[in-house]
Structure formats: C-alpha cells, structure tokens
Structure 1
C-alpha cells in the first residue's frame, strides 16, 4: 500500500537582494521612477527591471504605475515599512563595524535653506574633511517646507530649518534668532531718513519677496495679518541670490535677514533697516526625525552644526 505524501506546509523562503530593496524604497518614497532615478543616479530602466525582479522573487505586486508616478499596493506598503527598518539597521551595522576600527563612516544627507547654505556650507565641508574623513556628505539646498518633508520621508538625515512646524515626529533645537530687516539700496527712497521702520509702514512699500512657501515670507504675512494688513508684493522670486542682485541694482526692496549683505561683493550698495513694532524674528532650528535613535555619525554632525552656527549666528541669548 503506497504511502500518501502530505502537502509540504513549510513556510515560503524569500531571498531579498538589498540593492533591489533599496531601489524599491527610493521609488516608493519619492513617488516616481523619474525622481528616484535622479536621486540615486541610476537609470530608470535599471530601477524598473530590478524592482520587477524583486516582485517576482516575492510573488507580489508592489507598485502600480499611474499618470503622475507610482502608488503602493497593500503588499508594497507592508514591504516599505520593513525595508526602512532593514536599511537603517544595515547602515547602523556598517557604522558599528567602522567604529571597531576607530572610524566614523556613513552617508550624511544634510538639508540647508539657501541663505544658510551660502553662510555655512564652506565650514561644514571643511569640518567633514578634518573631523570625518571616512564619512560622505551630501548637502541639499531647499526651502524649509521642502526640507521638513524630506526629513519625514527619511531622504534627509538632518536639517537646519527656519520656523519649522510643530510635529511629534520632528526633534528640534533652537540654534539662532535673526531679526529681519528691510533691505534696499542705499539711495532708495525707502531708506532716506530712516534708521528703523514700523511693521505697519511696510504695507506701503512694494516688495520683492520669495513665494509663500518661504519662511521669511510666511513670517511677514503672519505678522502683518495680525495688524489687518497685507504686504504689497511687486515681484515673487524664489531665489535669494537673484533678489540680492536686483536690490543691489536699485530695483526694489525686500524683507530678509541682515546676513544677506555678506553676499554682496561690493560693500555699501545696500542698507538694512531694522523692523520694529513688532520686530520680525526668524528662528533657525536644528531638526531631525524622532522616529529612530540617531547614529553616532549623526550625533557628531549635530555637534559640528551647533558649533558652526554659534560662530556665524552669535546674536542669540541662551
């Protein structure tokens, strides 16, 4: 009498390629193959092919393409949750191994707003070369609102943000306070006979300002709204560098930090008039995700940033 073989009920075994997992995570978080290709510097067809292999190995559809990019399937959402942990653990393991050799390694993605990037980037790179020669640094220059989102999505490890929103998943530390000024040419009619200017009087001055997503602009709008006023925006330009060039040529006025005067090659072209009643104070915070413990590299970089900001923004009273 032949013996009937029972059905094999052993759990299915998966062999996951870490590179494929990393590609999947980037595409899932960035929402499209195009953005992921730009971020990873890997050709779009390669990303697509590797993720398809991952789907075949796992016997699951992970992503659905649509006109604006991709969306996660239920299986994709589950895998993304675990892939973030796996890749973070791998990064931690690599760091622990390097520490056993007396080195700090890893890749730091640091986000800086444009004015801050112009002020401290040179010092940050120099500090990395001297103190962290075995670590890699990528500086991402963008507006605070974009950097905050990228920290939440784990695309940026740490950032310096102006007036970030309050969030339980964002750890922040106040580093500096800057009073905003009316910046204009020394010969501008708005500068004549003025050593300071009341906030309410700014409503009569046509301004060159960044768009509403900029922290300076949001602060100005918020404080003027309290006085039932609105700023008079003549031009919206999302480049502080271009705004400075226009001001230096006498083509208007703007509300910015006084530190922008450092970016003018010829001194004496612009003047900074303090704003009062009330003063407009922009606050710069060090920010990072509270969802996981920081690596030793991140702890070291945090201290480097604090030291650099104390040198460049000495006006804050602790």
Structure 2
C-alpha cells in the first residue's frame, strides 16, 4: 500500500467514477484502475463494485476510505506545517473562479498576486460552481470564488457580493422594463444545464413561488446561448456580467425580474478538509480585499449598459 494508491482510491471512491477521478488527477483511467486494483490485491479485499453508472464502495471500501482520507490529510498537514516553519511564501496558490468572475477579475487578481507574492506562483482555473466545490473538497484548488447556492459539504463559504439576474431578450423585443417573477412562465427560456449555478438559482426562486418554467433549450456556453437569444429562439436568465463579456458587444433587451428579484450570491470558498498553507491564507485575504473594488467598477459598467 502506497500514497499513490490511496490517493487514486479516495478520488475514485468520492467521485464514484474512474473517469471523473482521472480528469481531476490528470492521469489516465487505465493507470488509476491499475493503482486501485493493486491496492485491492495488497489488502486482499474488494474495495469497489463496478456498475453501469460508475462504482460503489464495498463495506471494506467504506472502512478504508475513512482511514485513507485521514492519512492524506495528515500528510498535507505535515507538508504545510514545514512550509510555515520555514516562513516560505514561494509555493503555488491554486484559485478557481466561476465564469462570470473570471471574465472581469482574472487579470487584476493575477497582477495583485504577483505584486504581493513575487516568489510564489498562481494557477487560475475557471469552472462551474458545482465543479469548483468538488475541486475544493478533493484538494485540487486552495480557494474559489463561486456562487453560493446552498449547503455545500466539506466547503466553507463567506459571501462577497451578489449579482442580479435579468431576463435577456433579443434587441427590440416587446418585453416590459420589469416583470414579476411569476410571469417568467410566459417566456420560453434558453438556460444552462442543471449543473450550472444560474440554472439552480432560477429554478430555486421559481419553485419557492410555485412557478413552472418554460425551458425551451439547454445551452451551457454563454456565447452560443446569446446567439440563440439574438435569433429569437427564446430568452435567457443571466447576470449582466455575461452580457458585458460578449465579444460581439451586442445590445440586448434586459428586463429586471421583480417580486422577488433573483440574486446570485457570490462567495469565497475554502475546503474544511485540507489545511491552508501560509501562502494560501495570505492570498485568500488578498482576494477578499481586491475583489470588491473590481466588482464595484463592474457595476458602473452595468449601470451604463442599462442607461
């Protein structure tokens, strides 16, 4: 039994998939399969059962998973304790950003990081909030700026700011300047898939008011979604940051949703399973101080767009 085997097993077990674990670890699926199989041979126990949907833990696998997470956690703790003892700030800080934040904040945050921590490096990953929470729990990233859509196991969150969600329509569409949320049912929506935080938010608000949404199309990527809106295939529910990032700089009809408005809360998140290095702790503090001025500057652009 070695650390490579334990790390492979933990990722596969917690994600219930060799494919997803391989993508997160940056290894091939056959390589992970060999590691887990060798672990099973060494322990003379079947740890996982394969089925058509992925893998499930056996009783022996559940026992080993708890011990393995503790072992890997202790190793992470020892590594970070030694780094803190040396007082070093020359490691690598890994940050994940939700797409709406990445579009306006990446450049400034990297500049700020390089100025404050010239001996360290930064890795920026963009991903849906559901993926960012998963990456935090698995230790792939140190922190994330993501949508807070409710309780997320293994993740601590602190709210930074909120984003208002608008109904986005093609230019010149006959849509009022504001609509009550219950009236959303009258508009065919082009909306991201269920893993997307925006979809979760809109459906959550609609369900609380007993509103049955009219989902016309599911499109995960914003640029083609906006293309379809422009062509009149339906309407989108998006924050205006998504419109401001449109490379074609199109002018869409933006309608405020009321009674109630839909607010997406953006939070800075860290794992409660992996100890923070001194660099990561300092970098997260920097992010919190830097992100609000960036957001406030973005709000001025939004106000000008609504003009």
Coarse TM-score class (shorter-chain normalised)? 0.7 to 0.9
Instruction: Please name the residue that 2:220 is paired with.
Output: 238
Partner Cα distance (1:25, 1:105) in 2:
28
Tell me the SS of whatever aligns to 2:236: strand
- Please tell me whether residue 173 in structure 1 is matched to residue 158 in structure 2: yes
Partner Cα distance (1:149, 1:42) in 2:
17
Instruction: Please report how far the alpha carbon of residue 173 of structure 1 lies from its aligned counterpart in structure 2 after TM superposition.
Output: 0.8
Q: 1:268 to 1:94 in 2, by over 3 A?
A: same
Instruction: Please report how far the alpha carbon of residue 222 of structure 1 lies from its aligned counterpart in structure 2 after TM superposition.
Output: 3.5
The structure whose RCO (Cα within 8 Å, separation 6+) is larger is 2
CA deviations 1:145-199 (Å, max 9, x no partner) are 4443454455554333323323574322110112222222332222xxx443333
Partner Cα distance (2:73, 2:8) in 1:
14
List structure 1 segments (4+ residues) > 6 angstroms apart after TM superposition. none
Instruction: Please name the residue that 1:217 is paired with.
Output: 199
Q: 2:120 aligns with which of 115, 134, 145?
A: 134
Instruction: Please name the residue that 2:184 is paired with.
Output: 202
The answer to whether the 8 A contact 2:170-2:235 is kept is yes
What TM-score do you get using the length of structure 1 for normalisation? 0.77
- Please tell me whether residue 288 in structure 1 is matched to residue 270 in structure 2: yes
| Structure 1: runs of 5 or more not aligned | 1-15
- Please tell me whether residue 113 in structure 1 is matched to residue 98 in structure 2: yes
Partner Cα distance (2:158, 2:29) in 1:
38
Range with bigger deviation, 146-155 or 112-121: 146-155
Instruction: Please report how far the alpha carbon of residue 310 of structure 1 lies from its aligned counterpart in structure 2 after TM superposition.
Output: 0.6
Instruction: Please report how far the alpha carbon of residue 307 of structure 1 lies from its aligned counterpart in structure 2 after TM superposition.
Output: 2.8
Instruction: Please report how far the alpha carbon of residue 237 of structure 1 lies from its aligned counterpart in structure 2 after TM superposition.
Output: 1.4
- Please tell me whether residue 301 in structure 1 is matched to residue 283 in structure 2: yes
Instruction: Please report how far the alpha carbon of residue 29 of structure 1 lies from its aligned counterpart in structure 2 after TM superposition.
Output: 2.5
Partner Cα distance (2:85, 2:155) in 1:
30
Instruction: Please report how far the alpha carbon of residue 309 of structure 1 lies from its aligned counterpart in structure 2 after TM superposition.
Output: 2.5
Instruction: Please name the residue that 1:269 is paired with.
Output: 251
Q: 1:203 to 1:71 in 2, by over 3 A?
A: closer
Q: 1:245 to 1:305 in 2, by over 3 A?
A: farther
CA deviations 1:224-275 (Å, max 9, x no partner) are 4454433332222122232123334555421211112211234452242322
Q: 1:119 to 1:246 in 2, by over 3 A?
A: farther
Tell me the SS of whatever aligns to 1:217: helix
Q: 1:71 to 1:105 in 2, by over 3 A?
A: farther
The answer to whether the 8 A contact 2:223-2:246 is kept is no
Partner Cα distance (1:265, 1:43) in 2:
35
Greater Rg over alpha carbons, structure: 1
What TM-score do you get using the length of structure 2 for normalisation? 0.79
Q: 1:250 to 1:98 in 2, by over 3 A?
A: same
Partner Cα distance (2:52, 2:211) in 1:
41
Range with bigger deviation, 230-239 or 66-75: 66-75
- Number of equivalenced pairs: 296
Partner Cα distance (1:229, 1:106) in 2:
49
Q: 1:253 aligns with which of 225, 229, 235?
A: 235
The answer to whether the 8 A contact 2:24-2:140 is kept is no
Tell me the SS of whatever aligns to 1:313: helix
Partner Cα distance (2:241, 2:66) in 1:
42
| Structure 2: runs of 5 or more not aligned | 300-307
Choose between structure 1 and 2: higher helix proportion. Answer: 2
Partner Cα distance (1:195, 1:272) in 2:
7
Tell me the SS of whatever aligns to 2:173: coil
Partner Cα distance (1:228, 1:43) in 2:
45
